[in-house]
A and B are shown apart, each in its own frame.
Chain A
Amino acid sequence: DAGVIQSPRHEVTEMGQEVTLRCKPISGHNSLFWYRQTMMRGLELLIYFNNNVPIDDSGMPEDRFSAKMPNASFSTLKIQPSEPRDSAVYFCASFPGVTEAFFGQGTRLTVV
């Protein structure tokens, strides 16, 4: 298996633009997490899906952020409109329900 695949690896966008981050979890894993990592706040859980259903989105910072998981093999995190304070590394992780969670390489987002 290729592991958790995130795209793009790097994204630079202007303030006010819509940004969509993508994640392909490992096949057969039934849970998916989106995290944001910054120097100031460390690793923050944004949202957690189980069997494609959002279970806990209390970490989503505000209405500008939305996440979907239309099927077991794909998830998106969208920011609309983006702001400079959204600049961070965004990680996706998938979890089979036992053992450990597997992380993607992350998307480094810069909003200018």
Chain B
Amino acid sequence: GDSVTQMEGPVTLSEEAFLTINCTYTATGYPSLFWYVQYPGEGLQLLLKATKADDKGSNKGFEATYRKETTSFHLEKGSVQVSDSAVYFCALSDRNTGNQFYFGTGTSLTVIP
């Protein structure tokens, strides 16, 4: 069945460091891929998305490229800020499985000044 595997946390970085959070997926069809972010005490918000192979999603300095050959959607940011401290979830939706949404376990990021 469909699934998402993402890098275990927690991750602690200094401000302005480079961030990578790995995400790989398994899907029967051609899924759409997403990164969601959850700030403390809040619900999940969409950060970025990509709907087909080789698409790059980007938002707020974060980027992720849909790599079908490696079944990956790694999240990157060149220079993190304290305000990026949050939990990040990789997710996919697949019409072949009735539009079910599958989430990874989440990766907690703390950015220190």
Same complex: yes
Residues of A within 8 A of B (CB): 31, 33, 42-43, 45, 48, 50, 55-56, 91, 93, 95, 97, 99-106
B113 on interface, CB distance cutoff 8 Å: no
In the complex the two chains form, is A31's CB within 8 Å of B43's CB?
Answer: no
Please pick, from B42, B93, B98, the residue contacting A101 in the complex, using a CB distance under 8 A: B93
The distance in angstroms between the C-alpha atoms of A93 and B103, with both chains bound, is 13
B99 lies within 8 A of A105 (CB): no
Picked from A31, A43, A45, A101, the residue with its CB within 8 Å of the CB of B105 is A43
Chain B residue total in the interface (Cβ 8 A): 19
B44 interfacial by beta-carbon distance below 8 Å: yes
B45 at the interface (CB under 8 A from A): yes
B91 to chain A, nearest CB (A): 8
Tell me, rounded to whole Å, the shortest Cβ–Cβ distance linking A111 to chain B.
20
Q: State whether A95 touches B101 (Cβ < 8 A).
A: yes
Asked if residues B43 and A106 are in contact (CB atoms below 8 Å), the reply is: yes
Query: Once the chains bind, are B43 and A91 in contact (CB under 8 Å)?
Result: yes
B56–chain A nearest beta-carbon distance, Å: 16
- With known contacts A43-B105, A50-B98, A103–B43 Cβ distance under 8 A: yes
